Structure formats: C-alpha cells, structure tokens
Structure 1
Amino acid sequence: MAFDEMINADSSPRQPYSTYHQWYASQDRNRLIAKSKEAEKIFRKTGITFAVYGHADSSEKLIPFDLIPRIISGREWRRLAQGIEQRVIALNAFLDDIYHKQEIIRAGRIPRELVEKNDTFLPQMIGFRPPGGVYTHIVGTDIVRTGEDQYYVLEDNARTPSGVSYMLENRETMMQMFPELFHQNRVRPVENYPNLLRQSLSSLAPAGCEGKPRVAVLTPGIYNSAFYEHAFLADMMGVELVEGSDLRVIDGRVKMRTTRGYEAIDVLYRRVDDDFLDPLTFRPDSALGIPGIMDVYRAGNITIANAPGTGISDDKAIYSYMPEIVEFYTGRKPLLENVPTWRCSEPESLKYVLEHLAELVVKEVHGSGGYGMLVGPTATKKECAAFAEKLKSRPGNYIAQPTLSLSTVPIMVNKGIAPRHVDLRPYVLVSDKVQIIPGGLTRVALKEGSLVVNSSQGGGTKDTWVLED
C-alpha cells in the first residue's frame, strides 16, 4: 500500500498537514467545488496552457490543477535540499571534467563509450569552460517518495527544465483564493523565483560585460509546447523574449534587433535544444537558432544558459552512474539515492529485464514527458511482447527500474477526496552559489492507480508548500 503523505494509518493527519487538515474539515464542500471552478477560470484567463505534440487534437490545453496542496515540513525539506545541492554540484563538476581532463573516465568509474558515443556529448565544448565555470544554471531534479523518510531521485533535468511557470501560477492562484491559509501554515515563499533567476543569470555574464548585463530568453516560437512559460519568465524577469530571427552576430557579439538598431546581449537563457542553436555548427537546416553564436560563445562574449552539451547529464544511462559520480566529485556517498537501475546495454541486465518486463518500468535513455516507456504492471502481454522486440533491437537505448510504490496525496474528486500518486520537481539556480526554491512543482497522476504524472499523459499539478519550522 502506498505511503499517504497527508493521512496516517490510523486516519489522523500527519504533522505537516495538521493545521491544513483541521481547516479542510471545517469547509463547506460546495464552496471548495466553486473555488476549484474559479481556479480553472483563472488559469484559462491567464492562458496557462500546454500543447501535446503528435496528437490529432494538438490544440492548447489547460493543465489540470488540484486545490489540495502538497505540504512538506521544514525538517523534511532540509534533508531534501542538502541532497539536491550535493547532486547539482556533482553534475556541474562531471560536465566540466568530461569536457576537459576526463578524470572520471581515466579512473574507470564510468565507461568512455558511454560519454564519447553519446549523442548529447558535444565535441565543440571540449576544452571550453563557460563563464564562472557553470554549465547547469537551472536544474530540475525529479524526486519521488515511497515512505516516511524514503526519497529517491527519479531523473535529472539539466538541459531546459520546464514547469516552473506552473509552480508560480499555482502559488499565486492559491494565495488569491485562500490567503488565510498561508498565514496559518507559515508557508515559505516561491514567488521571488523570477528575481532570483535574473540575478543568478546576470552574475554569470561574460568577464568583459560593462554595466548592467542584458539578459534575454530565446524561444523556438509560439508553436512550442512550452511557449507560455518562455513568455511568462521573460515578462516576470523584465527581459526581452526573442526568437532566432531577432538576433544576429555583429562584430563578435550576439545582438538583438531593437527600435534603436542592434544592441548586444550578454546572457541568453535559451529554451532551444542544442541541435537547433547554431546552424553553422549543428543542424544546418535550423531556422530557430543564431548562425555563429557558438563562435561568440567560445570567444567568451556571451553566456548561454544552460550551457550547450549539458544534455548528457539528462541521459538515463548516465543517471545510473550518479552514485559513483556524486562520490567521485564530492568525496561523500549520495545523500539522495537513485532508483535501482538496470542498464539494458549490459547482457546480464538485458536478460533480467526481458524475463521481468511485466514487473518493471522501462525507459528510453533520452526519453522525456512519459513517452517511449513501458510500465510493465499496467501493460498487456501484447504490449510487453512488442516492447521486448524493441529492447532486443536497441538494448543500449533503454534502462529499466522497479515499479516503485509512489507516495500519494489526496485530490478533490466528485465524492470527496481520493489518493493519487505524485512526484516533485524542485528548481535549482546555480551561480557562485546554489539556490534551491523551497518547494517546486508537484505533478499528480489524476487517473486512479496511474503512476504517470506528466501533463502530456493526463497528469495535473498542485501547489507545493514547504513550512517554516
């Protein structure tokens, strides 16, 4: 039976939820239903949407929002934050190492081919160190919980982690509808994230930057599934939202077209994948990037966040080595554990996975959004058989993990409340210091029994409260 974060086995509320539980019990259900509808109107009016690629109905959709917050105590959060910080520091050190001395490979801690034959490893970054030595400016670390003090890192998102706009809008909506709850529960703030993001990015402007750094957000455009977030963050930071067609390289700088002519940009928070960033270096057919930007970058005249080549740290085969990576660069065992992982590229692991497909979750090493995966316990025999053929043909493209009993948090349903599985994506800003936003985005599987929380697969979101001690 899954661990319920709100209710103990004896039906009493767990300590972090005690004040909220008392408030909830005193509420009129019709009022809460009305508030839920009000929240949907707020989201629709604000335009908080996402698109799902590849679906016949590709129209913009509202991400479902549940009114019952997920609440984390100060003690629980401190433990999580320490583990996240350790992991992010190790990831940044790993990236610096593989593009320079490759000491972790020389030490035999990870296989050379896993790095050098990885599609996300960029030879163009070898020997280059970004401003401030920071590769992973913004990180989203996906965490799941299975018990009272049992947390696991599910995956690392160090390329272009998304979803922070939902975290901010969830909080604003809850504060607008239930302001009294935030005073009663002493909830730590998250609404200063845009200011912290701008400060963090500005602090890593190139060494030759004079005056206040100019920051811009690079978006693929309005048809990108996360365009709302790109526009939202640019607006909240008070910086320009640009597309590749708005920028060009002039006199060794990346410059933005303005009414006053072209003006230089110092820091570019890009939401465009590596492949499309520079058609002169990567895909020549890309219309989303800026021709020549990699030359400007390597010359030290612009900061790109996150750095090109960080995608290798999102790779799920690399993830399986994170315990070794953390220990190699920090000298300590990981404070947060990985989910046990079988690398299907290894014959013995592949054999085990094929024999136990019905019990495991199998994922593509470069997959995201809940796509390209098999959840064995909910799959049919036919689906398992088809997936087995994929595994046999490209074993190196997959990893497998046990099916964890993810913790649950109640959601509002027609008949009252019901438990649903959740995960958590805290957001981390890295500059000369590591700043972890207290909370993050809680994603919830709205379908009963489902373990897939992604919005593209029918999941929703909740506000995440971290309490002051």
Structure 2
Amino acid sequence: MAAKTEHFLKDYTYKANNWDEMYDSKAVRKQYSSVFANLQQLDTDSLLSKHNIASELFMNQGITFTVYDNDEGIERIFPFDIIPRIITGTEWQRIEQGIAQRLKALNLFLKDIYNEQQIIQDQIIPASLIASCPHYKREVFGIKVPYDIYVHISGIDLIRGSDGQFYVLEDNLRTPSGVSYMLENREVTKRIFPDMLASNNVRRISHYPVLLHEILLELASTQVSNPRVVLLTPGIYNSAYYEHSFLARQMGIDLVEGRDLVVDNHKVYMKTTKGLEQVHVIYRRLDDEYLDPLIFMKNSVLGVPGLIGAYRKGNIAIVNALGNGVADDKAVYAYVPEMIKYYLNEDPILQNVPTYQLSNPDAMHHVLKNYQNMVIKNTNQSGGYGMVMGNTISEKEWLKAKVIIENNPRNYIAQPIVQLSTVPCFINGKIAPRHVDLRPYALYGPRGIKLVPGGLTRVALKEGSLVVNSSQGGGSKDTWIVDE
C-alpha cells in the first residue's frame, strides 16, 4: 500500500535560520492548512500520477524554453512542481503597494534621465554611472512617449528573507518574460487540483491578457478609432518564442517578425494579403539593439529600418519604451531607494537587498575579503549567468573570477547571500522544502498600475541551491493569493 502524505511529511526538514512558508517552528501555517488537509488524503502514487499528468500537459501544450549550450539551442519542458505556493492577501497588499511605488519612481527616473536629467544635477546619482551604462540609449534622448509611461510591463523579482519579509532582488523593465508560465501553471493546477482551487477562494489571474491588451490599445493615438497592435518577436529560435505566440493568441493580435513590417513616410505598416496596413502599437519582445539597423546594430536582420524615426515622430507606440535598460542595470538598482525619496518624497515600502558597488574601492575591499558570504553579479547579465556564488565556488575558480572582477569593477555588484524562503515541493516521491523567489507582473497604463494577484514562483529544484533560473536548472509552481 502506498504511503500516505502525512507519513512522509514527517521527514519534511528545514533549517532553523530559514523562513519556511508552510511551517512555522511548531505547526502548519494557517494559509496552508486547507491544502495540507487535502494532501493528507492522497498517497504517493496519486501525487506521482498528478505530477505525470502535469508533465504531459506541458508537453502537449508545447510549453518550453530554450537553454543555450555551446551555441546550440536545446528545447526543454519547463519543470513544474504540483504543490502551490500560498501567499496571504495581507502580504500581497504590501507587495502591490511596494511594487506600485517602485514603478512610479523608476518611471519618473526614466523620464528624467532621457530629458532634463535633474537627478544627476542634484547629485543623487553619479553622472559616470549613467554614462557607463551600456543600456543607456542616447539615440532616444528627448523622445516623448505616450502618457509619459516608459515601463508598461515589468517583472519585479522578490525574495523572502529569514525574517519573513519580502525584498526586491532586481527590476526587469525591458522585455520581462515568464508571464505565460504563470498563466499555464494555473491552468494545469485547475486540471490536477480542481477542488482545492475552488475551496480556497484563490484569486484569479486569467484576466492578465485582457488587461495587457487594454493598455496596448490605450497607448495608440486618440485619433485612431480602431488601432492595430502587433507583437514583434525575434522568431522561432528565440528562447521565449512560446510565450510570444501564446500572448499574441490570447490577445487576438498579430505575431510579426521584422520582415513583416515596413516604414514609409515615418509610419509603420504591416504587410498583409490585402496590402500594407498601418500599425499603431508594437509590443516588442526584441532588445533595443536589434530594433532598427539604421540606428543601432547595423547588421541586424530582426528589426525594422526606420522604426526609430517613426517612434520619434510619435507615429508608433513601442512597449516597453526604448532605453529602459538603464533602470534595471544592477548598479543603478542600488539607487532605487534614493529615487523613491527623491521623486515621491516617500520611504520605500519594499527594501532592496544590501548591495555593494564594486567600483567603490572600500566596497571592493570588503567584498574580496568576505567573498564566501557574497553573491557577485554582472550588472548587465540575466538568467543566472555571470554570477559568482561565494559559498560554492572553488578557490581556483575564484582566483580566475577575481581577476575579471578587478579589471572591470563597474560591471559588478555584490550582495550578501540571502537564504531564500522555502516552500514544500514534490521531489522524487517525497515532499521536501526548496528555495524560491517570486516575479509578480505589473501593468502600467494611462489609468494606473495593476498587478494580477500572483506571479511566477521560480523554484531551485536542487536541494540546498539558491539559483532558481530555468536556464540553471530551476522550475516553477502555481502561486496562490488567498484571503485569511
């Protein structure tokens, strides 16, 4: 007879100095009690069956991502853990308020840095920091964007520390990915745990594509009665192509590549069987550098020649705005609390993780002395690449990394290694704790900032690992916001 869940939960272990989201020091937390009771009714075979069904659903839907290894793209199914992560409505309210505050300040920063640059004149942020940022685009300086909104879509990565509080780990303000996995995770959960979803009154997230589509339409010129919106993708070989096609389908808009668009007289048109039809809004999933070969990368075949000219004339809205990368540079991240105070005259609701700028000699000295307690990050890398985990790196690897860091300190920051919170996961037939982060998705339109109640919980599937990125072996799980 297969073991009951209640039996192997007895083996559920977690570190005393770590915040476990299901257990406090004595019992199951209130928000998990109903799910815990449901799990107790299932044996190991039942959970394995649900795990296999989930994997088959992901496979049949083609829910994949691409890992690049030795310049070869390998398609992989996104690993999914069947036990949901649960966050209370009270906790979510603070997250909502904190992210909305942060995005307002970051948006004002982007407007400022591409126009008056008052924050530099007032010496809140060093001019050298902006000048040395590879994602600061002088080519779009002075361009007016609709409603002064630069960050329409964002994914702000949060972690929960050992004190139970949420902290901002990094800001993703260019072309944040993963929202399709958030939506598909919920659909799979509906299939394998339909009763649990209903009985817990989980807040819905399925309206995200509708909210996004509404914002995209609102960004078109008010003189256009029936604006055409398209999603611009680099193509089928991009690691997030599944998401591009998914979102275009969900919103009922055209999925296009650069070759499908043409600029004439500073206006953008899409090639159709009926001839050229004007495009008013582009939701681009293409990095700045590839958008217009006349302005940026000359040999790019992914972009649209003349697009920036149309953008500057105000004949096309581009989402997200160009040049946003300056605001999610990890070196600029350290100044976001100062931005909030400077632009909003408020204290940050969500705190940053303590950050050392390695261009500062004192900070560099401290980090090199204490590197084993630090994670060192390349300021313009993502996906877990360019990262040094001081507690796992070998001495030989460290000496090699140290030379690279010392030769280009502007490109690196360091943060104390934070023991991310843990949640229960179904791993190899047992329920065990694994470390997680959270990426909520915020939409910023003319009528304000909206967050769908949930987000993408990324899981470090390897025991003890703090690296949650899918490209580094991580997975994900459904995120429930429930009212206590």
How high is the TM-score relative to the length of structure 1? Answer: 0.98
1:201-240 aligned at under 5 Å gives the runs 201-208=216-223, 210-240=224-254
Displacement of 1:43: 0.3
1:78 is paired with a residue of what secondary structure?
Answer: helix
1:61-100 aligned at under 5 Å gives the runs 61-100=76-115
Displacement of 1:212: 2.0
Q: Contact between 2:19 and 2:164, CA under 8 Å: does it hold in 1?
A: no
Residue type matched to 1:326 in 2? Answer: I
Q: Per-residue CA shift, 1:244-296, capped at 9, x if unaligned?
A: 00000023211101111110111100001000000001011000000000000
Q: Per-residue CA shift, 1:404-433, capped at 9, x if unaligned?
A: 011000110224211000000000000121
Partner of 1:171: 186
Partner of 2:264: 250
Residue 382, structure 1, aligned to residue 393, structure 2: no
Bigger shift: residues 281-290 or 248-257: 248-257
Within the candidate set 365, 371, 375, 2:385 is matched to 371
Work out the CA distance in 2 between the residues paired with 1:55 and 1:31.
Answer: 39
Work out the CA distance in 2 between the residues paired with 1:200 and 1:365.
Answer: 30
Work out the CA distance in 1 between the residues paired with 2:175 and 2:440.
Answer: 14
Partner of 1:279: 293
Work out the CA distance in 2 between the residues paired with 1:332 and 1:445.
Answer: 34
Residue 456, structure 1, aligned to residue 471, structure 2: yes
Work out the CA distance in 1 between the residues paired with 2:37 and 2:46.
Answer: 16
Q: Contact between 1:147 and 1:407, CA under 8 Å: does it hold in 2?
A: yes
Within the candidate set 19, 23, 37, 2:34 is matched to 19
Residue type matched to 1:2 in 2? Answer: N
Partner of 2:275: 261
Work out the CA distance in 2 between the residues paired with 1:218 and 1:93.
Answer: 26
1:52 is paired with a residue of what secondary structure?
Answer: strand
Displacement of 1:310: 0.5
Q: Per-residue CA shift, 1:306-340, capped at 9, x if unaligned?
A: 00000111100000111101111111010000000
Q: Per-residue CA shift, 1:326-382, capped at 9, x if unaligned?
A: 111111010000000000011111111111111100000001000011000111111
Partner of 1:413: 427
Partner of 2:171: 156
Q: Contact between 1:170 and 1:462, CA under 8 Å: does it hold in 2?
A: yes
Q: Contact between 2:48 and 2:429, CA under 8 Å: does it hold in 1?
A: no
Residue type matched to 1:455 in 2? Answer: S
Displacement of 1:207: 4.1
Displacement of 1:59: 2.1
Within the candidate set 327, 332, 345, 1:331 is matched to 345
Work out the CA distance in 2 between the residues paired with 1:294 and 1:438.
Answer: 35
C-alpha change, 1:244 and 1:57, in structure 2 (3 Å) is: closer
Q: Contact between 2:44 and 2:429, CA under 8 Å: does it hold in 1?
A: no
Q: Contact between 1:358 and 1:384, CA under 8 Å: does it hold in 2?
A: no
Work out the CA distance in 1 between the residues paired with 2:241 and 2:259.
Answer: 16
Work out the CA distance in 2 between the residues paired with 1:230 and 1:102.
Answer: 34
Q: Per-residue CA shift, 1:163-182, capped at 9, x if unaligned?
A: 00100000001012211111
Work out the CA distance in 1 between the residues paired with 2:389 and 2:163.
Answer: 25
Residue type matched to 1:80 in 2? Answer: I
Q: Contact between 1:131 and 1:207, CA under 8 Å: does it hold in 2?
A: no
2:112 is paired with a residue of what secondary structure?
Answer: helix
Work out the CA distance in 2 between the residues paired with 1:275 and 1:57.
Answer: 22
Q: Contact between 2:156 and 2:172, CA under 8 Å: does it hold in 1?
A: yes
- Structure 2: unaligned runs, 5 residues or longer: 1-16
Q: Per-residue CA shift, 1:34-71, capped at 9, x if unaligned?
A: 01000000000000001112347632101100000000
Residue type matched to 1:306 in 2? Answer: N
Work out the CA distance in 2 between the residues paired with 1:237 and 1:382.
Answer: 50
Partner of 2:66: 51
Q: Per-residue CA shift, 1:209-259, capped at 9, x if unaligned?
A: x11221110000000000100011000100000000000002321110111
Q: Per-residue CA shift, 1:97-140, capped at 9, x if unaligned?
A: 00111111111110011112311111122212201111011000
Q: CA RMSD in A?
A: 1.1
Partner of 2:407: 393
Within the candidate set 457, 466, 477, 1:442 is matched to 457
Give the percent of matched residue pairs that are identical in Structure 1 and Structure 2: 50
Within the candidate set 356, 361, 365, 1:347 is matched to 361
Partner of 1:145: 160
C-alpha change, 1:57 and 1:282, in structure 2 (3 Å) is: closer
Work out the CA distance in 1 between the residues paired with 2:73 and 2:273.
Answer: 35
2:269 is paired with a residue of what secondary structure?
Answer: strand
Within the candidate set 280, 297, 302, 2:311 is matched to 297
Partner of 1:193: 208
Q: Which runs of 4+ in 1 moved over 3 A?
A: 54-57
Q: Contact between 1:4 and 1:408, CA under 8 Å: does it hold in 2?
A: yes
Residue type matched to 1:421 in 2? Answer: H
1:443 is paired with a residue of what secondary structure?
Answer: strand
Partner of 1:109: 124
Partner of 1:9: 25
Residue 313, structure 1, aligned to residue 327, structure 2: yes
Work out the CA distance in 1 between the residues paired with 2:256 and 2:62.
Answer: 19
